[in-house]
Every structure is written in C-alpha cells, then in structure tokens.
Chain A
C-alpha cells in the first residue's frame, strides 16, 4: 500500500511533504504535552506504536495472488487521535523505507499522509460519530479501525490517480483502476483489523487504568456492567 520510491513525480511528492510535516510536528508537540501531563501515558503510547509495528509487518497473501498488509492505525486513532498517530506511523514508514525497500523516502510524505494522517482521521471521526449512536462501543471500535484501514488505501489510490491521470477518463478513470488493485485484498484485511483492534480495546477497557480521559467513561460503564 506504500507508494514505491521515486514513483511520485513533482510537484506531488513535495506537496504531500508540505501537507504532512506540520501535522507530524503538531503530533510531536501533543505527545510531549501528553507525557508531561501524565508520564504513565508513555506505556499506552508505546503500545499503540507497537500495534502499528506488528500489524504493518504482516504481509498477507490474498486471493488475487497479491499481498497486502493491515495498517494497525485504528487503535492509536481511537486512543490518541490522528496527529499523534501520524508520528507513530512515520516511524514505521521510515523503518520500512530504509531497511525493507518498502515505500520510499521521496514518497514518505505521501505515505504518511495516507497511512498516518487521513486514514486515522477517518477512523477517529468514525469513532466519534459511532460512539454517539446506539451502536455500542464494540461495533464503534470495529467500524473505526476498519474505516482507518480502508480509507488509507483509498487515499493511496487517489494520490496515484492525481499523479498519473489516464489519457482517456483522467483522474477518475485512474482512481478506479488503482482502487481495483487494492480493494480486493484490502476489504478482508480491514475486517480482520477491525476485529483485532476490538480485541485489544476490550482488554484495555477491562484493565481500565491509563486510558485517556475521553475514554474513561467507557471503562467505568464496563466495570458497572460487570458488577451487575
């Protein structure tokens, strides 16, 4: 799902850097503030980052004879929001670009924008919206994680389509073609990622301690449910 090294021509590669850099800088500032306010949050931050590390290392072969991997960003998006997630994602993307020739340094801006910012933003918004409905916490977590994964691939397709519009049909035709490459493998992956994220969140809700303020009420209600 990462755009390969050198495969985004100007101006696209640096436009995506211009988009990404301020968000990552803001994310770093938020991480610093979070740790200053409560040093115990370091543990949860490390856990969210580790989750992304593991999941994006799992190259899953799939029906179309191609391989793809989950993003793991949904958990971090729900716990800390998109800007913090962008920092955690860029660490993984740099590891893969330097050591695995997977993605690239020139496309780091674009890949961080899709996997680290827009995907998690969609996941976070999905969480915020679903949580207010009677869907329940479990389904909201599942939907948010799946949405973060799927939208990451939609953004990648859009980035490639903008840079390489088709001769007939332009950007839209290209977008459809790139989506066709990713969609088949990514839909089952997004569902699997949703379930895995749900499992981790349930464990965290059960344990309770160290949850960010905006999730504390869920921990309490889970405890109340157990008491009943």
Chain B
C-alpha cells in the first residue's frame, strides 16, 4: 500500500507539472480580458498580488506541490480506512470463532 501511495503522489506530480507546462492562456485570463472588453478598458484592478511566483517553473513547482500534498494525504487516509476495515474484520472473526455458549 505504501508503494501505491508513492505511485499516486508521483503520478499526480507528473500530471500536474505536465499540464501546467502545456496549458497556455487560462480561462481566468480570458475572463480578465473580457472585463477589459466590457468596460472598454475602463477598469483597473484595485489590488495586486502580495506575491507571485517570479518564474514560471516556480509556479509549476508550487502547483505540483499542491498535487503532491493532496495525493499524499489522500493515499494515506485511504490506507487508514482500509486498515481500520481489516481490524474490524479480524475482531468480528475473533468473536465468531468462539463457540456460542448455550446454557
């Protein structure tokens, strides 16, 4: 199961890195352009990002990190739930193997 979790994390990182490298203009940017069209360029955003990834590879890295954190927690919790299941099964088996005490 640990192997599965590792694979899941690696897969998510690879997929997310690949996607953010290949993706061009996002729909968010197109929405921003549309705001420019509707207001005929009359709108300037009133707030700026406090911080933005200075390089595109950093953005890719942070997107991948998000995917990795998620995939790791997801794999780990699934493992926990499965483990809990097995413990329950064993407990039930344990209980039912005992001969019923008929007075």
Contact = CB atoms under 8 A, between A and B. Distances in A.
Interface of A: 1-7, 9, 40, 43-44, 46-47, 49-61, 65-68, 92, 95-102, 104-106, 156, 160, 164-167, 174, 177-178, 181-182, 185-186, 203-204, 207-210
A4 B34 contact: no
B28 A102 contact: yes
Given A7-B32, A160-B35, A209-B88, A104 B73 contact: no
B22 to A, nearest CB: 5
Interface in B7-28: 12, 15-16, 19-20, 22-28
19 contacts: A4-B28, A4-B32, A5-B45, A50-B69, A53-B66, A54-B12, A54-B71, A57-B64, A59-B63, A61-B22, A61-B23, A66-B30, A95-B66, A98-B50, A164-B39, A177-B38, A181-B31, A209-B85, A209-B88
A181 B43 contact: no
A67 B26 contact: yes
A58 B16 contact: yes
Nearest to A107: B47
Contact of B50 (A61, A66, A105): A105
Q: Ordered nearest first, which 6 A-B pairs have the shortest CB separation?
A: A53-B70, A6-B45, A67-B23, A54-B70, A6-B47, A101-B52
Contacts of A167: 38
Given A47-B77, A47-B78, A67 B24 contact: yes
Interface residues of B, number: 50
Contact of B71 (A2, A50, A60): A50
A167 B77 CA distance: 51
Nearest to B77: A47
Given A54-B74, A101-B49, A105-B47, A59 B35 contact: no
Interface string B57-100: 00100111011011111100110111011001000000000000
B27 A1 contact: yes
A208 B48 CA distance: 47
Contact of B38 (A53, A55, A164): A164
B53 interface: yes
Contacts of A178: 31, 34
A59 B20 contact: yes
Contacts of B23: 59-61, 67
Q: Which of B22, B28, B78, B85 is most buried by chain A, counting CB atoms within 10 A of its CB?
A: B28
Contacts of A185: 27
Contacts of A102: 28
B26 A51 contact: no
Contact of B35 (A51, A65, A164, A209): A164
A57 B45 CA distance: 25
Nearest to A46: B77
Contacts of A99: 51, 53, 62
Contacts of A156: 31
Contact of B63 (A3, A100, A209): A100
B26 A66 contact: yes
A47 B27 contact: no
